[in-house]
Structures are given as C-alpha cells and as structure tokens.
Structure 1
Amino acid sequence: MDDLLLLTHIGGRPAAFRACDIRSIIELGEITPVPRAPAHVAGLAALRSRPLTVIDSRAALAIDHAKAAPDERAPVVEADGHSYALLVDRVNDVVSAIGQPISAAATLGPEWTRVAQGMIETTAGPAILIDAALLISGPQRAAA
C-alpha cells in the first residue's frame, strides 16, 4: 500500500484518514448549534457560502470531552452528497502508509472498532485507519 493518509489525533490516539477522502483542511470559524441535532453534531458552519455540518469526533466515538479542546483546523469530507467538517484534537500531517491495515478490534473498544478499518503503520508510526462515513454516523445506539 502506497497511500497517503491524513494523520490526526482523536481522544489521545493517532487516527488516520485516507487523504483521497479529504476534500480540504479548513480553519473553522463560528459553529452555529442545531436544535434537536444528535449529540455528535456540533452544529453548522459555512464553507464558501455553503452549509457544512460539523461533526464532533469525540462525541461520535463516545469519548469524554473534558480532556482537550479541538484543533481550529478541521478536515472536510463528503458523504452522500453532503459536506462535513470533522472536529479532531489535532491535525498533524500527511504521511505515507506502510503496508495494509490489520485488524485490532480486540484492543480498540466498541466505538473505535465500529469506525476503524484497522491499524495501519505509517511513516510517523502506527495509527487507527478511520472510515469517515462511519464516524459521521455517530455512536451506536443501544437496542431498545
């Protein structure tokens, strides 16, 4: 695998997204809350005069918010024709993947396992390879 990855940190863990899935990295301005939105939707922002849904990655992974403020920069992805900005703890760098992702479900926990395509070695060290569309969908709901 010779893919480029965007390396970030979420909840103290290195998390990578395939660079081909990232449309841009933006500096988030004002985020307008959306009444009755799911908890992992931080609100709406504007991107070139278009609405952009802002996803709180920590909330989407059911991670406690008390530890860190998100980076002012946010990766932008598209899913089902809609644009989303992902709040992450830190946007690091674009790095090269080394090899293929391997399963790490036993060590990640249920929410991370739900969004992870596996652990992947990068030129900056190991990271969890994240499926952005699954992250956007938010935390698993308990069966009623």
Structure 2
Amino acid sequence: MEKLYLIATIAGQPVAIRASLVESVVDLGEVAPVPLAPPHVSGLAALRSKVLTVISCERSLQLADGGEKGGRAVVVSVEGHHYGLLVGSIDDARVIDEPPQPIRGRLEAGWARVALGMLELDGEALLLIDPERIIAGPDEALAA
C-alpha cells in the first residue's frame, strides 16, 4: 500500500497524499468556528460521532484568505486526533510505482514547508505532501 496515493487539488495544484495516512474522504456540512484558534483552523465538525478539527489547506499554505467553512475534506488521524483537510477536489486513489523524486524547482514558502517530493502520474507532476505539516500550519502559528 506504500505505492497507493490519494490524488487531490489544493488551490488548483495537483497533490498526492500517501493513502496509508488517509482514513476517509468526506463532504463536510457545518463547521463550528473555534475562538482564538490559529487562522488555518477553520473550526470543528462532527463526523461519525467523532470531533474533527477542520484545517484550511489554503490558509495553512498562506495561499488565500480561505473563507471556506465546509466542503470536501481528507480525513487523517495524527496522534489520536482526527483532522479534516479541506481540499478543492478529490480525483482518485492511484498506484504510482515510481518512488518520489526530489523537487528540482523553487516552491513558494508554504508549499516548500509541506512538500516531501514529486511524483509523476500520466505525464502530470504531483507534489507529495505531508498532512502533519499542513495541520501544523504556517510558521507564525507555530511561534504562537
């Protein structure tokens, strides 16, 4: 299963997430805001009797204002906590036989912080991203 990846888009950028890290993909309903939470934390949502912390990937990457309150989310679990990573779209889960390659270009700071490498699928370059780094948020959130 190490070669299976979930393919999604964040701010129009195709990305891959190791399928072994993904619990599910869901459509979120209402997201309740959390007072004093870092800007990349959109709020909390209920999912199958679990509390899900909803993370705006775009805000975590400092790409957009990220006014979204719900939508498609990739559900991951980190240290026993469940997170929903808001993404633009979900393509599919795909097997990619080639190992991730080093990134040979310059990325914006947010992408550079979360990227683990590059994958190629059907002639398209995908950034392999680390969900834990998305959840951690931008450096300003870490300093707070």
TM-score, normalising length from structure 1?
A: 0.88
> Which residue in 2 is equivalent to 1:133?
132
Q: Tell me, yes or no, if the aligned pair for 2:29 and 2:70 is still in contact at 8 Å.
A: no
C-alpha distance 47-58 of structure 1, shift in aligned 2 (>3 A):
same
What do you get for the CA RMSD once the two structures are aligned? Answer: 2.5
> Which residue in 2 is equivalent to 1:78?
77
| One-letter amino acid matched to 1:55 | I
Q: Tell me, yes or no, if the aligned pair for 1:95 and 1:124 is still in contact at 8 Å.
A: no
Q: Can you give the 5+ residue segments of structure 1 that lack an aligned partner in the other structure?
A: none
CA offsets 1:71-93 (integer angstroms, 9 cap, x no match): 82211001111000010111111
C-alpha distance 52-98 of structure 1, shift in aligned 2 (>3 A):
same
CA offsets 1:40-97 (integer angstroms, 9 cap, x no match): 000000011211000000000000247x968822110011110000101111111122
> Which residue in 1 is equivalent to 2:10?
10
C-alpha distance 92-124 of structure 1, shift in aligned 2 (>3 A):
farther
> Which residue in 2 is equivalent to 1:36?
36
Deviates more, 1:18-27 or 1:120-129: 120-129
> Which residue in 2 is equivalent to 1:97?
96
Aligned length: 143
C-alpha distance 45-104 of structure 1, shift in aligned 2 (>3 A):
same
C-alpha distance 4-54 of structure 1, shift in aligned 2 (>3 A):
same
Quick one: percent identity of the two aligned structures? 42
